[in-house]
Structure 1
Amino acid sequence: MTAAATILIIDDNADLGMVLRAHLQGAGYRPLVVDGARAGLALIEAGEIDLVITDILMPEVDGIELVRSVKRRWPDLPVIAMSGGGQIAARDLLDMIGQLGADHVLQKPVRRSDLLAAVEAQLLKRRPA
């Protein structure tokens, strides 16, 4: 069941989005890639998304606000947040976003094995017993 899951990747770095898409496609998922929170929220609103992977530091609407919006409107939709940091240490930023509602956090650069393990774990939580 999880092998056909639709996973939304939200990241303003197009190259990273394509790498994540390739990793997820190779594992049998259906990844969609958008470059910002507004486009991501529109896709969630419009269709069946099984899991969201989002960057935290993005222009316009950042990942913190995105996670809060998703969890407020779709509390059962798993969200994996990722960041490489910036002015705030990446681990501190990821700890903060985890406290704000992200179901899992990943530090960039994201290893393929860590990405797939996090995705599978979050999708398993959604599976009916």
Structure 2
Amino acid sequence: MRPKKTILCVDHNEQTLSVRTFLLETRGYRVIALATAHEALDVVQQSVPGSIDLLLADLLLPQMDGNELVRRAKQINPALPAMLVSGTVTSFERASSADVFLPKGACSPVEMLERIRVLVARKRGPKKAVAPVQPAALAQAS
């Protein structure tokens, strides 16, 4: 069995957080559910790079918005994929630090899960070196 992917899920709304946690856990993800951006930054700071597969946060958080959370988390771990979700559809302009922005209510849970699956699957890590193709090898292949 392959190891579970870990999602750091941040939302100040307790009900939304528990629903999102349930949705993700029933799909096989390990979820670290937190209510504040500061707690999330602490977890990112203390975690081994690569141990968190996705940061999923609400855009509108108290004290520090989700965009700032993503910006700071990416300073700590630049390879960490991030998704912001917001109930205000027009706030996507403020979500410039995230890899994906989804408006709450305008996307289905299925769409959200698919976006998460894609982000976790293409989690950025060190690029593998690819040997350059030699012109002689191309000529022989023809």
Q: TM-score, normalised by structure 1?
A: 0.85
Question: Is contact 1:2-1:29 (8 Å) kept?
Answer: no
Following TM superposition, by how much is the alpha carbon of 1:108 offset from its aligned partner in structure 2, in angstroms?
Answer: 0.8
Matches of 2:103 and 2:80, distance apart in 1: 21
Query: Percent of pairs identical after alignment?
Result: 30
Matches of 1:111 and 1:96, distance apart in 2: 22
TM-align CA RMSD: 2.0
**Pairs within 5 Å for 1:79-98:** 79-85=82-88, 90=89, 92-97=90-95
Change (3 A) 1:120 1:106: same
Matches of 2:3 and 2:114, distance apart in 1: 13
Q: TM-score, normalised by structure 2?
A: 0.78
Matches of 1:120 and 1:2, distance apart in 2: 15
Structure with max Cα Rg: 2
**Per chain length, whose mean CA-contact separation is higher, i.e. which structure has more relative contact order (CA < 8 Å, sep 6+)?**
1
In the other structure, the counterpart of 1:17 is 17
State the SS of the aligned residue for 1:101: coil
Q: After TM superposition, which residue ranges in structure 1, 4 or more long, deviate above 4 angstroms?
A: none
Following TM superposition, by how much is the alpha carbon of 1:80 offset from its aligned partner in structure 2, in angstroms?
Answer: 0.4
Unaligned runs of 5+ in 1: none
Q: How many residue pairs are counted as aligned between the two chains?
A: 122
Change (3 A) 1:81 1:2: farther
More helix by proportion, 1 or 2? 1
Question: Is contact 2:79-2:124 (8 Å) kept?
Answer: no
